[in-house]
């Protein structure tokens, strides 16, 4: 199984999700989303795949935005506002908070 994780190695939830993927034998593509941020279009695609409104993919401490378009603009401009970890496999995408949500994709 292939998986992609938008990963922040300083985040314990992100490290837990990555460990669960490795323990499941997944071939994981690790994306340092702070150093290599996803595009606005990629964020929109991930949110749609996860069944999330883009505002639901913002970190709780991110500035408030009025629309989903504004949320996508903010996340593309400032990737630190993206809730983490975002995980995608062939089965779909989730924000793995808690990290056990990764199991939904295995």
Which residues are the active-site residues? 11
Phi then psi for 31, rounded to 5 degrees? -110, 115
Residue 76: count other Cβ atoms within 10 Å of its Cβ: 18
């Amino acid at each position: 199984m292939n998986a992609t994780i938008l990963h922040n190695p300083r985040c314990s939830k992100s490290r837990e999700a990555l460990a669960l993927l490795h323990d499941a034998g997944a071939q994981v593509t690790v994306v340092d989303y702070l150093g290599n941020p996803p595009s606005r279009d990629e964020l929109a695609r991930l949110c749609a795949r996860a069944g999330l409104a883009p505002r639901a993919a913002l970190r709780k401490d991110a500035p408030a935005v009025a629309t989903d378009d504004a949320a996508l603009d903010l996340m593309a401009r400032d990737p630190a506002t993206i809730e983490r970890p975002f995980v995608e496999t062939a089965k779909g995408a989730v924000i793995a908070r808690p990290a056990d949500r990764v199991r939904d994709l295995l």
